Amino acid sequence: MIPMEAYKSSRKAAADAHEALRQALLAIGIPNRDLVRLAPRVAPNGRPMVAMGTWNADVVQKVAAHLMASPADVKTLPDGRVVPDHTHVTRDE
């Protein structure tokens, strides 16, 4: 069982990630009606996550096309977190 403080912290992190993802998807033209199944969650291991539910093929194709066209090179840490600024990653992170 996850301690209540850790759960609250994870729930807040999941809500923040949910809003960031929602705003990014709106910015690339995904209609708000297609985002109703997007929801913040806390995984059984206590990690924050965003559940996407089931999206239709059109939405998935739009997101995939945008990602494939993007020049961004996304780096992640061993635990799966995205590195926001590649030049300032420390060994502790």
> How does DSSP assign 27-81, residue by residue?
HTT--GGGGTT-EEEE-TTS-EEEE-----HHHHHHHHHHHHH------B-TTS-
Rounded to whole angstroms, how far apart are CA atoms 10 and 81? Answer: 14
pLDDT tens for the 93 residues of the chain, in order: 567 777 788 888 888 888 888 888 888 888 888 888 888 888 888 888 888 777 777 778 888 888 777 766 667 777 766 665 544 444 443
Map out the domains of the chain as residue ranges.
Answer: 4-88
3-state secondary structure of 91: coil
Check residue 93 and give its pLDDT. Answer: 39
Q: What pTM did the predictor assign?
A: 0.60
Check residue 92 and give its pLDDT. Answer: 44
